[in-house]
Amino acid sequence: MPKEPLILGIESSCDETAAAVVRGRVVLSSVVASQHELHQEYAGVVPEIASRAHAERLTPVVTAALARAGVRLADIGAAAVGHRPGLIGSLLVGVSAAKALAWSLGIPIVAVDHVHAHLFAGCMTFSTHQPGQHEPNVHEPAFPALGLVVSGGHTSLYLMRSSTNLTRLGATIDDAIGEAYDKLASMLGLGFPGGPLVDKLATTGNDRAVDFPVSRLAPGSLDFSFSGLKTAALYALQGVPQTRPPHPDRPRPPHVAPSAADLCASFQHAAVGAITLKLLRALDQHPACRSLLVGGGVSANSRLRAELATLARARGLDLRLPQMALCVDNAAMIAGLGAQLLASRSWASEDLGFPAVPTTSL
Ligand code: KG4
Ligand code: ZN
């Protein structure tokens, strides 16, 4: 059987400039240049700063990915690029660079949906795998599967008939879960991105100290909502704003804020609870699902990982969680899904005219 081609992946949809070399599901190299230091003082990603930084960093990142994989540009068989969704200026940098490379090398190029690629991350493994490390199952997961993407920009549930055939069942109607984590961290002055810092602080707190709402939405809904939780966290910290002056005979007691650790633990309890609630609903509606594929930055969350493992065990699901390095934005997942897309098509490559698209796909 001929060896699968080496795929060079490029990702620049938000604030990570990334390149990777992948063969099938095996990651030979994955280089991510994060821009967190550039956006830290704004507690969020500034689009113009992000696209300028991508333009500066892309060539060194691609060069590093090739060097770490021990290959030359001439060895690359195809290019894959994240072309949607994301910040348009950021996407354009990666898409233009990938098209230029593919054209000059005369190789096929495939456009990959960033959100769908997050779902493929749990199906990949590193060629330099160390014994004792969490060893992901690199065999094809059983389909149909449920797909869950939890990140700074997305919170979506999918019904997956294969890695390349997906139907969206639900998505957030307001904030993404990672955005809510980042806002809580910003309220507490913890830093950016806040998810990992909230996760760490939560391990020392009481998760029942504050009774936060778990959003359900309409019965049977598979959509998510995190803006109410974000507001509830703000009120728990600062007190509920009062619209009327206090009664002269009944002065209001002073607001007592919970400790940062208790707030983080209680927030995490509610945020993860909202995810598992919708997963259970989705399983009731799609009982044929045999696997659960999860991806996105928040899939690095310790409590979410533990609760998903418990849920998967109870429901007999094959759970695919990405290795930590592949939870956040990276180009290995883009190249990995790109390889599947190339293999599943009767024709080899996209036309070079495909666009960068800021909006999310279904
Ligand atoms: O997938 P990603 O790199 O970017 C998007 O596509 O949005 O996800 C970044 C998000 C940030 O909101 C970050 O705070 C969150 O993932 N995150 C976490 C953890 N690690 C990263 N959230 C909760 N717990 C974590 N351990
Ligand atoms: Zn992402």
Instruction: Write the pLDDT tens digit of every residue in 88-117.
Output: 999 999 999 999 999 999 999 999 999 999
Q: 303 and 287 in contact (C-beta within 8 Å)?
A: no
**DSSP assignment, residue 123?**
G
Contact 18 CB / ligand 1 (< 6 Å): no
Which of 32, 35, 87, 181 maximizes ligand 1 atoms within 8 Å of its Cβ, making it the mutation to test the pocket?
181
Angle between helices 302-315 and 195-202 (to 10 degrees): 80
Between the CA of 352 and the centroid of ligand 2 the distance, in Å, is: 24
Which of 328, 329, 330 maximizes ligand 1 atoms within 8 Å of its Cβ, making it the mutation to test the pocket?
328
Between the CA of 176 and the centroid of ligand 1 the distance, in Å, is: 10
Between the CA of 196 and the centroid of ligand 1 the distance, in Å, is: 7
d(CA 34, CA 42): 15
Sequence letter at residue 283: L
State yes or no: pLDDT of 138 exceeds 80: no
pLDDT at 246: 78
- CA distances (Å), origin 146, targets 153, 209, 284, 361: 19, 32, 12, 17
d(CA 172, CA 150): 10
User: Quick check: helix, strand or coil at residue 109?
Assistant: strand
pLDDT tens across 29-84, in order? Answer: 999 998 888 877 776 778 888 899 899 999 999 999 999 999 999 999 999 999 99
Contact 175 CB / ligand 1 (< 6 Å): no
Between the CA of 343 and the centroid of ligand 1 the distance, in Å, is: 30
pLDDT at 346: 46
State yes or no: pLDDT of 131 exceeds 70: no
pLDDT at 3: 75
State yes or no: pLDDT of 133 exceeds 60: no
Q: Which residues make beta-bridge pairs with 19?
A: 10, 31
pLDDT at 273: 98
Q: Which residues make beta-bridge pairs with 172?
A: 224
Q: pTM for the whole thing?
A: 0.93
Tokens read off for 186? 């910003």
Q: Which of 87-96, 123-132, 186-195, 225-234 has the lowest mean pLDDT?
A: 123-132
- When pLDDT is cut at 50, 70 and 90, the band that residue 125 belongs to is very high
**DSSP assignment, residue 250?**
B
Alpha helices (H) in 177-259, listed in sequence order: 177-187, 195-202, 227-238
State yes or no: pLDDT of 174 exceeds 80: yes
State yes or no: pLDDT of 347 exceeds 70: no
Atom of ligand 1 nearest to the CA of 182: 14
Which of 200, 298, 299, 302 maximizes ligand 1 atoms within 8 Å of its Cβ, making it the mutation to test the pocket?
298
Q: Which residues make beta-bridge pairs with 146?
A: 159, 292
